[in-house]
Amino acid sequence: MLKLSLPSVDGFYTDLVDHPKVLRVVALSGGYSRDEAGALLARNPGVIASFSRALTEGLTAQQTDAEFDAALDASIGSIFAASKA
């Protein structure tokens, strides 16, 4: 497994993704917003997200449980969708 920064070049890690000795290529959100990181990830097929900071973007202690759960669910959904692209 390789954990790398999101590439700015589409498909940059394709050779690694396709290599038989590489189980997964995992990308960090790299300081990008969740939307920007998701867009970059979606342009790199086979690379999956490791977005801990981007996952928590928009979550606050002031949110109700329902607001927090909805925001977290939307975050997980968008990151999952970008990982499947």
Give the Cα separation of 36 and 10 in Å (integer): 13
- pLDDT the model gives residue 34: 87
68 pLDDT above the threshold of 70? yes
Contacts of 85 (CB under 8 A, 6+ apart): 41, 42, 43, 45
- Residue 25 main-chain phi, psi, to 5 deg: -110, 120
- pLDDT the model gives residue 62: 96
85 pLDDT above the threshold of 80? no
- pLDDT the model gives residue 12: 94
pLDDT tens-digit series, residues 12-60: 999 999 999 999 999 998 888 888 988 999 999 999 988 888 888 889 9
Nearest 5°: CA angle at 76, between 71 and 81? 125
